[in-house]
Chain A
Amino acid sequence: MDNVTGERLKVKRDSSWILDNIVTIIFVVFIVFGFIVSRGVSVNFFLNELTSRIFRNSFLVLSLIIPVLAGLGLNFGIVIGAMAGQIAIAIVRYFGLGGMSNLLLCFAIAFPFAALFGYFAGLLYNKTRGQEMIAGLIVGYFANGIYQFLFLFTVGKIIKVNPTHPMINPSGIGIRMTVDLVPVAEGGLKYALDNIAKIPFMWAVLIVAVSILALIIVKNLKSKNTKKDLMFFVNIALCILMIGISVFAIATNNSLMLVNEVPVVTALLIVALCVFNELIIKTKLGQDFRSVGQNQHIAEVQGINVDRTRIIATIMSTVLAAWGQIIFLQNMGTLNTYNAHTQIGMFSVASLLVGGASTSKANIKHAMIGTILFNAMFIMSPEIGQAMFGNALLGEYFRTFMVYGVIGLALGLYVWRQNKKLVNKLDE
């Protein structure tokens, strides 16, 4: 076989690095710009806000990865998962339960609800092939109606409740707009997870930086590819820089040590979800997700049950979102009964896209970088509005613009790139 040599053709690049990462770059530039114009923002304030937001939101963003792998696109339907989480919290709070063990009870109660909702969403996605994202969005709105009916009317009218319970409206029908989750010290759910253990922020940075460094080096030693690219060294340098800063801060006990402490258990849960996402890819099920995600027809021909695989992916995502919402709420401390879930679909999807993901590609790195940048934007927008126009509210509006803008831009770029690939084929 003379012609079939081992020559490896270079995969042709369809677009440049800048275009591939344009969304991420816009955000980085925006945040840096914010720091330059608004001199009022102290580093400590920024880091305080950022860390609490990251621990609140990461789990939700990570729950979006599996559906992307399975080719369902960005699952806007995690909103129904969030509702399942809120139903669980409402039940637990109604009976005045609290503390760590009852937070676990929340997880357990949310599971069957979320799995059932996810199953229905999965059925719908199979019927609306190619339009899963818009279907997910509409399912969210539709489910919101049912949710309101349940919480505003059924509770009190059909399900008998104690009309004088602090959660219930004074009329005895429906649940109040806001429900106080009560700090864990007083037997509630607020900080039930976060307060188990806390460590100073700079220690956390040190641990994270060291573990990422170790991970990079181990990965590199394992792979046979001896050629190291530029990013490898940049990553190592960044890790060493972070280690240096944290060690310096700890040693000199400077102002950075005043940043709020970070919750260890929440962090561990997020890490656990990352590990879960990584491990699931390495199983038969994960391989099926990827096969189905890349080409449903080929997967079908090779005997993979495509519909079932897609439903499993949706269920997993919905359940994870339910748990993510519980983690979110225990940190917030209040349940905004009718609003808490409405935005999480949009915000989580935007976060993932900011990290460089697309409708067909998403990984943990995208989710984590995206969560950091997206929330940094959230913190900086009002500051920029204040500094530039003397009005923080303008920044608020700008936020909304950025959220929807980023989703639109990322989706548009994705389609544009697909079309470009087709045209490039002409030159082959």
Chain B
Amino acid sequence: MSDNLLNIKNVSKEYYGNKVLKNINIELKKGEIHALIGENGAGKSTLMNILFGMPVIHSTGGFEGKIEIEDKEVNIKTPHEAMDYGIGMVHQEFMLIPGFTIAENIKLNREITNPNIVSKVFGKRYETLDYKKMNEDARKALDTLDMDIDEFTTVAGLPIGHMQFIEIAREIDKTGIKILVFDEPTAVLAESEAKNLLKAMKKLASTGIGIIFISHRLDEIIDVADKVTVLRDGEHVATKDIKDTSAIEIAQLMIGRKVSIDRSESAERKTTDETILSIKDLHVAMPGERVMGIDLEVKKGEILGIGGLAGQGKLGIANGLMGIYPAKGEIIFNGNKLELNNPKGSIKAGIGFVSEDRKGIGLLLEESIELNIAFTAMQINNEFLTDLGLLKLKNSGKIRKHALEMIKDLDIRCTSPSQKTGRLSGGNQQKVCVARALTQNPILLFVSEPTRGIDIGAKKLVLDLLLQLNQEYGMTVIMTSSELAELRSICDKIAIICEGKVEGILSPLASDAEFGLMMSGSSKLADERSGS
């Protein structure tokens, strides 16, 4: 009989033959804070989905392995059952209803009710809410967390740090809570708020609750956790006691060396000292990828990589400059000031964009390849059109000729230029996107997540294409990607975005630890290391 609260034993999970988790083992003791760290796609969320019995797990064939709570094997099939076993979750994106008071949010769907005449006839759902008792319970939970905020305040307009605490209050208000999962709780918090949160976590742990702390901030993990488990590509890399390890070691374990970087460093790279794009204090309100004050300089003819973990704002930069999401800031492009929030202006100024949302805004899936290639140029630059004075007709001959050239140049595998883009494979769709961007004759090309959803062979082709464009036409390329390996294979330098800001700029040849530390916002530690 061990005093383990939770045992995850040999858990594996496949999605349609694709192994996303391989033999994960985690033990959680009473009052222990167990940190879980890994890059995007390392399998953290899948593991938590299994723990919570999310429908997505069971609708895709369940999982292998065992989950034990207090040494008894359990079979959790729904989130509701997880709740009954005493597992709670503090979500990263707040599960709070802004128009409700704090007490109403804490008691959401667990409201305290009193029977009345109507409810005796029609059932429990018609019982009257007992606001007084609900407020009292909420008060108690808030007091446990030392929050002296009125429980009848509405959530809308509260500082984000408070909202996080309300989420926690909701979990500890549930009776019999044993295990609490914190999913990147500090990602959205300011430093002082994060400190308070960590303090509260320690306090909760001291009452005997076991805590799983998912975070990418290494300094915080070192600060509060007792143990850390590192996942990488669905594999259990290591579990270590915090006192036996260091931030640098964790960072190294997290990044690993997945693919050998086949970087053909050529001497004749044509980078210049001329700045083509200068970004000052850029803010972009892209939901989930907010940019909060980025300064960046891009030199003519270089390939700049933008990396970082998901949700940190790296995707927001290109989307903001292209006017897809509301943005503000000062942008000088090619010597002129670039007006923001004006997609047409950005395209006209000579910026091409291959979106990360290929099927959403990148392509007209129900239209032909040739029309997709010519589309933006037709709309913005009035190319491929026959001008009849009053109205303009599209010049099919010209479009066909151009499309055929592009198909040949970029090696797009298709049956004909009139094939619908929706029928193409991911890699070929991506090439159509690139072809369309090239048709505008851009001076600078933004490429976001160019290899997402593309098989490995096609990945290489797309990356080679980008490199070729850069070398042969001197086109400046800014590539945003979640895959560090591909950034390191073609970029001249890589800017790492963390929490909406540029954390630092690294050479592609920098070490894994340096990338790892920077992506988790711990560049201070890196400085110390290089200083020593």
List residues of chain A with CB within 8 A of the CB of B263.
none
Q: Confirm or deny: A53 has a beta carbon within 8 angstroms of a beta carbon on chain B.
A: no
List of B residues within 8 angstroms of A287 by Cβ: 104, 111, 129
Q: Chain A's nearest CB lies how many Å from the CB of B283?
A: 5
Q: How far is the CB of A426 from chain B (nearest CB, A)?
A: 5
Q: Closest residue of chain A to B200, judged by CB?
A: A1
Q: CB distance A290 to B100 under 8 Å?
A: yes
Interface 0/1 of B163-202, CB less than 8 Å to A? 0010000000000000000000000000011011001100
CB neighbours of B156 from chain A (8 A): 11
A227 at the interface (CB under 8 A from B): no
* Inter-subunit contact A299/B285 (CB<8 Å): no
Q: Are B146 and A11 in contact (CB under 8 A)?
A: no
On chain B, the residues within 8 Å of A254 by CB distance are none
Interface mask (A121-154 → B, CB under 8 Å = 1, otherwise 0): 0000000000000000000000000000000000
Query: When the two chains form the complex, which single residue of B80, B111, B126, B147 contacts A4, counting CB atoms closer than 8 Å?
Result: B147
Query: What is the chain B residue whose CB lies nearest that of A297?
Result: B95
Chain B residues near A288: list those with CB within 8 A. 109, 125
B128 on interface, CB distance cutoff 8 Å: yes
A418 within 8 A of B: no
Report whether B193 and A3 are in contact in the complex, using a CB–CB cutoff of 8 Å: yes
Docked Cα-Cα span, A425 to B328, in Å, equals 11
Which of B127, B157, B199, B326 contacts A283 (CB under 8 A)? B127
A291: min CB distance to chain B, Å: 6
Provide the residues of chain B in CB contact with A2, threshold 8 Å.
196
Residue in B closest to A9 when the chains form the complex, CB atoms? B157
Known contacts being A1-B147, A287-B111, A304-B109, is A294 close to B128, with CB within 8 Å? Answer: no
Produce 1/0 per residue, A1-45, CB < 8 A to B: 111111011111000000000000000000000000000000000
Decide if B158 touches A9 in the complex (CB within 8 Å). Answer: yes
| Contact of A283 with B119 in the complex, beta carbons under 8 Å | yes
Q: Quick check: B109 and A12 within 8 Å, CB to CB?
A: no
- In the complex, chain A residues 272-327 whose Cβ is within 8 Å of any chain B Cβ: 279, 282-288, 290-291, 294-295, 298-299, 301-304
- Bound Cα distance from A284 to B123, whole angstroms: 11
With A303-B79, A422-B285 as known contacts, state yes or no: A4 contacts B162, CB within 8 Å.
yes
Whether A426 and B157, one on each chain, are in contact in the complex, defined by CB atoms closer than 8 angstroms, is: no
Asked if B98 CB lies within 8 Å of chain A CBs, one says yes
CA distance A279 to B126 in the complex (A): 10
Within 8 Å of chain B (Cβ to Cβ): is A423?
yes
Q: How far is the CA of A282 from the CA of B125 in the complex (A)?
A: 11
Q: Which residues of chain A are within 8 angstroms of B79 by Cβ–Cβ distance?
A: 301, 303
Give the chain A neighbours of B195 by CB distance below 8 A: 3
Contacts of A291 in B (CB 8 A): 97, 100, 108-109
B285 touches A284 (CB 8 A): no
| Nearest CB in chain B: distance from A185 CB, A | 36
Shortest CB distance A420–B (Å):
10
Instruction: Tell me the bound Cα distance from A282 to B109 in angstroms.
Output: 14
Cross-chain pair count, CB within 8 angstroms? 103
B425 contacts chain A at the CB level, 8 A cutoff: no
A10 to B327, CA, bound (A): 25
Residues of B within 8 A of A282 (CB): 128-129
Chain A residues closer than 8 Å to B96, beta-carbon distance:
298
Distance in Å: Cβ of B134 to nearest Cβ of chain A: 10
- A286 CA to B129 CA in the complex, in Å? 9
Q: In the complex the two chains form, is A8's CB within 8 Å of B153's CB?
A: yes
CB pair A284 B157 closer than 8 Å: no
Contact A423 B126 (CB under 8 A): no
How far is it, in angstroms, between the C-alpha of A302 and the C-alpha of B193 when the chains are bound? 26
The answer to whether B126 touches A5, judged by C-beta atoms less than 8 angstroms apart, is no
Contact of B157 among A10, A286, A301 (CB under 8 A): A10
* Contacts of A239-290 to chain B: CB distance below 8 A: 279, 282-288, 290
Q: Which residues of the other chain, A, contact B108 by a CB distance below 8 angstroms?
A: 291, 298-299, 302
Q: How large is the interface on A (under 10, 10 to 19, 20 to 34, 35 or more residues)?
A: 20 to 34
A251–B126 CA distance with the chains assembled, in angstroms: 46
**Residue in contact with B165 in the complex, picked from A4, A9, A294, CB distance below 8 Å:** A4
**In the complex the two chains form, what is the Cα distance from A146 to B54 in whole Å?**
43
A423 pairs with B146, CB closer than 8 A:
no
List residues of chain A with CB within 8 A of the CB of B326: 422-423, 425-426
Q: Is the CB of A303 within 8 A of B128?
A: no
A283–B159 CB distance below 8 A = no
In the complex, B150 has a CB within 8 A of chain A: yes
With the chains together, A3 CA to B192 CA distance in Å?
7
B148 touches A (CB below 8 Å): yes
Minimum C-beta distance from A62 to chain B (A): 18
Contact B146 A1 (CB under 8 A): yes
B99 within 8 A of A: yes
Contacts of A299 in B (CB 8 A): 97, 108-109
Q: Quick one: CB contact mask for B78-97 with A, threshold 8 Å, 1 for yes?
A: 01100100000001000111
Q: Check A294/B125 contact, CB under 8 A, given A1-B196, A1-B199, A287-B111.
A: no
B residues 194-216 near A (Cβ < 8 Å) are: 195-196, 199-200
Q: In the complex, which residues of chain A have a beta carbon less than 8 angstroms from the beta carbon of B149? A: 4, 6, 8
B361-399 Cβ-contact flags toward A at 8 Å (1 or 0)? 000000000000000000000000000000000000000
Q: Pick the contact of A294 from B97, B111, B158 — CB < 8 Å?
A: B97
Which B residue sits closest to A3, measured CB to CB? B192
CB distance from B346 to the nearest CB of A (A): 17
Cβ < 8 Å to A, chain B residues 114-128 = 119, 124-128
Given known contacts A291-B97, A295-B97, A299-B109, A283 and B328 CB-to-CB distance under 8 angstroms: no
Q: How far is the CA of A16 from the CA of B142 in the complex (A)?
A: 34
Beyond A12-B157, A283-B129, whether A6 also contacts B148 by CB under 8 A is: yes
Return B150 CB to nearest CB of chain A, in Å. Answer: 7
B-side contacts of A6, CB under 8 Å: 148-150
The interface bits of chain A over 415-428 (1 if a CB of B lies within 8 angstroms of the residue's CB, else 0) are 00000001101100
**Which residues of A are found within 8 Å of B7, using beta-carbon distances?**
none
- 0/1 per residue, A395-428, Cβ < 8 Å to B? 0000000000000000000000000001101100
**Chain A residue at minimal CB-CB distance from B112:** A284
State in angstroms the CA–CA spacing of A426 and B326 once bound together: 8
Residues of A within 8 A of B80 (CB): 303
Asked if B334 is an interface residue, CB under 8 A from chain A, the answer is: no
Shortest distance from the beta carbon of B34 to any chain A beta carbon, whole Å? 24
The smallest beta-carbon distance between B136 and chain A, in angstroms, is 16
Of chain B, the residue at the smallest CB distance from A1 is: B146
Query: Distance in Å from the Cβ of A278 to the closest Cβ of chain B?
Result: 12
Closest residue to B157 on the A side, CB-wise? Answer: A11
Q: Which of B97, B147, B192, B283 contacts A298 (CB 8 A)?
A: B97
Whole-angstrom distance between the Cβ of A13 and the nearest chain B Cβ: 10
Of all chain A residues, the one with the shortest Cβ separation from B284 is A426
Contact (Cβ within 8 A) B161 A4? yes
A290-B97 Cα distance, complex, nearest whole Å: 9
Contact between A284 and B99 (Cβ–Cβ < 8 Å)? no
B97 touching A284, Cβ below 8 Å: no
Query: Is B113's beta carbon under 8 Å from chain A?
Result: yes
A-B contact pairs, 15 of them (CB 8 A): A4-B162, A5-B148, A283-B113, A283-B127, A283-B129, A284-B124, A284-B126, A294-B98, A298-B108, A301-B95, A302-B108, A423-B285, A426-B283, A426-B285, A426-B327
User: Beyond the given A1-B146, A282-B129, A291-B109, could you list 7 further A-B residue pairs with CB under 8 A, ordered by the A residue number?
Assistant: A284-B124, A285-B125, A285-B126, A287-B129, A290-B97, A303-B83, A304-B109
